[in-house]
């Protein structure tokens, strides 16, 4: 379903129904209920990019074989990102990194290492603001464009944008259209940023493994199990199951 399509259908259906019932006295109640549902649907759309409520979002890829896509948000992050890159190389795995512009500014060598390692690098905004869902189109551009410029100076052509915290709004679509980028969600949010039990986290991920799946992990700082610790256990198990860990298609 295209962005907003469900809302338009619901609004139109609600309008017809409430007008039809106006004479019975139920019309205003139906109209109020429809408005409430539309409002809740809008808020849910802001919080869950997987729904593609405001902008068409890629959440999983059509599998040709047993491909899996590991994506890491919020880096680059010094030694942790270096360790993640080292583990990926050790197991012959490729991944996608959604980096934060202002962090790239201080650690450009890590983005160069990602490129050299054959990984995909995507845009995860400049500031990673938790209020980004209140941005208008120029506001989104101020987050997207400088990050793209910096990445381009490091040899990356960013194809994907993943909004911070997964927040979207009605203006994001226009901003992405202007840059020719695709919004990327995930098929499974691992909650690694708050899970402190390594085995539990790995089991949770393994339970959701299927060809074409996109997993959201974080190599940025967070209180959960570090991505490098997860990979050290997860990668050999995924490979043993015959999965290929590939970067998002460029």
* Binding-site ranges for Zn ion (CB under 5 A): 73-74, 164
Q: How far is the CB of 124 from Zn ion (least distance, A)?
A: 6
Q: Which residue is nearest to Zn ion (CB)?
A: 73
- Strand pairing partners for 216? 71, 189
Token pair of 132, please? 């980004």
Q: How far is the CB of 153 from Zn ion (least distance, A)?
A: 22
Quick one: angle between helices 198-207 and 227-240, nearest 10? 40
Vertex 92: Cα angle to 247 and 155 (nearest 5): 45
Q: State the catalytic residue, choosing from 73, 74, 192, 219.
A: 73
- Beta strand spans in 13-60 (E): 57-58
Burial class of residue 149 in the structure, from the number of CB atoms within 10 Å of its CB (0-12 exposed, 13-18 middle, 19+ buried): exposed
Which of 216, 187, 183, 213 lies closest to 56, judged by CA? 183
Phi/psi at 114 (nearest 5 deg)? -60, -45
DSSP-based three-state secondary structure for 214: strand
Would residue 218 show up in a list of annotated catalytic residues for this protein?
yes
Closest CB to Zn ion among 184 and 201? 184
Task: Encode 63-80 in three state secondary structure.
Answer: CCCCEEEEEEEEECCHHH
Closest CB to Zn ion among 3 and 164? 164
Closest CB to Zn ion among 219 and 228? 219
Q: How far is the CB of 81 from Zn ion (least distance, A)?
A: 14
Q: State the catalytic residue, choosing from 119, 124, 171, 218.
A: 218
Closest CB to Zn ion among 103 and 171? 103
Q: Is residue 156 a contact partner of residue 121, using CB atoms and an 8 Å limit?
A: yes
Q: How far is the CB of 9 from Zn ion (least distance, A)?
A: 32
Would residue 128 show up in a list of annotated catalytic residues for this protein?
no
Vertex 183: Cα angle to 177 and 189 (nearest 5): 170
- What is the rounded CA–CA span in Å between residue 238 and residue 231? 10
Q: How far is the CB of 71 from Zn ion (least distance, A)?
A: 10
Closest CB to Zn ion among 34 and 150? 150
Q: How far is the CB of 166 from Zn ion (least distance, A)?
A: 8
Closest CB to Zn ion among 77 and 228? 77
- What is the rounded CA–CA span in Å between residue 20 and residue 133? 37
**What residues are labeled active site?**
73, 218
């Amino acid at each position: 379903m295209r962005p907003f399509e469900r809302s338009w259908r619901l609004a139109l259906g609600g309008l017809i129904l409430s007008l039809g019932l106006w004479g019975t006295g139920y019309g205003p109640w139906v109209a109020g209920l429809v408005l409430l549902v539309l409002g809740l649907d809008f808020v849910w759309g802001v919080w869950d990019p997987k729904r593609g409520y405001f902008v068409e979002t890629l959440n999983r890829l059509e599998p040709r074989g047993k491909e899996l896509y590991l994506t890491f948000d919020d880096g680059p992050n010094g030694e942790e990102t270096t360790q993640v890159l080292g583990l990926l190389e050790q197991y012959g795995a490729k991944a996608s990194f959604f980096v934060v512009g202002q962090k790239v500014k201080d650690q450009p060598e890590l983005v160069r290492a990602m490129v050299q390692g054959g990984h995909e690098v995507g845009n995860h905004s400049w500031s990673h603001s938790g209020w980004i869902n209140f941005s208008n189109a120029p506001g989104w551009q101020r987050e997207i464009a400088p990050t793209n410029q910096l990445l381009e100076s490091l040899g990356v052509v960013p194809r994907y944008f993943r909004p911070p915290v997964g927040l979207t709004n009605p203006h994001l679509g226009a901003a992405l259209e202007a840059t020719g980028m695709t919004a990327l969600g995930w098929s499974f949010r691992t909650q690694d940023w708050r899970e402190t039990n390594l085995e539990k986290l790995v089991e949770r991920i393994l339970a959701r493994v299927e060809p074409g799946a996109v997993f959201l992990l974080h190599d940025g700082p967070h209180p959960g199990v570090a991505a490098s610790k997860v990979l050290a256990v997860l990668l050999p198990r995924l490979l043993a199951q015959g999965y290929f860990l590939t970067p998002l298609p460029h």
